[in-house]
Amino acid sequence: MAPSRGAPRSQIHPPEPDYAAICRGLQTHKHVTLQLLWEEYRGQNPDGYRYSRYCDLYRSWRRRQDVVLRHEHRAGEKLFVDYAGSTIPIYNGVAGQVWPAALFVAVLGASSYTYAEASLSQGLADWIGAHMRAFEFMGGVPEIVVPDNLKSGVTKAVPV
């Protein structure tokens, strides 16, 4: 009888990454990347998956987790409004000054027709002025304006 050679190489798999932990890391820390998480994985598992396979496995897992909820919007029914992300710089080339600006965005639900403008604050006057200019740009007023939960537009959050 011949000695056992062990399991064939095709049956030996590296340790599986913790896909749920990867997902939480990417969602909770804005500067965490899949590359950084893979480097941590390889530090703990030197014989683990290479980066491209790690990414493929994570994306495959992610596709199985995502649940899609399709929203149907009637034309002109809803306008979604918010200030987007971090501030952006406005440069005055003549004076050499830079001001941080908030980016107001308004999007029609049915068509995704978009209006955006930069303002120096997210105060009430800028908030109302941005709405007026968005309505003028859109050529009318929607049935419903849906703000996100920002201080300028919401005085009391109500669960839906």
With a pLDDT cut of 70, the percent of the chain lying above it is: 86
Q: Would residue 5 count as lying in a domain?
A: no
Select the more confidently predicted residue: 96 or 115: 115
* Averaged pLDDT, 114-125: 93
Q: Which pLDDT band holds residue 54 (cuts at 50, 70, 90)?
A: very high
- 99 and 142 in a single domain? The answer is yes
Is residue 8 scored above 60 in pLDDT? no
3-state secondary structure of 23: helix
Amino acid at 59: R
Q: Would residue 31 count as lying in a domain?
A: yes
Is residue 50 scored above 90 in pLDDT? yes
- CA dihedral sign of residues 131, 137, 142, 147: negative
Q: Would residue 2 count as lying in a domain?
A: no
Query: How many helices and strands (H and E) does the chain possess?
Result: 4, 4
- 85 and 56 in a single domain? The answer is no
Is residue 115 scored above 70 in pLDDT? yes
Provide the whole-model pTM.
Answer: 0.56
Q: What does the pLDDT read at residue 53?
A: 95
- 101 and 41 in a single domain? The answer is no
- 91 and 54 in a single domain? The answer is no
Q: Would residue 28 count as lying in a domain?
A: yes
Q: What does the pLDDT read at residue 7?
A: 53
- 50 and 22 in a single domain? The answer is yes
Separation CA 145–CA 100 (nearest Å): 26
Could you list the residue range(s) of the whole structural domain that residue 29 is in?
14-65
The structural domain count of the chain equals 2
Asked whether 95 and 118 are in contact (CB, 8 A), the reply is no
Q: Would residue 119 count as lying in a domain?
A: yes
Q: Which pLDDT band holds residue 61 (cuts at 50, 70, 90)?
A: very high
- 92 and 143 in a single domain? The answer is yes
Q: Would residue 70 count as lying in a domain?
A: no
- Say how many residues make up the chain: 160
**CA 143 centroid distance within chain:** 27
The average confidence (pLDDT) of the chain is: 87
DSSP one-letter string for 30-80: TT--HHHHHHHHHHH-TTS--HHHHHHHHHHHHHHH----PPP--TTTEEE
Q: How far is CA 101 from CA 26, 40, 92, 130, in A?
A: 27, 36, 13, 13
Q: Would residue 25 count as lying in a domain?
A: yes
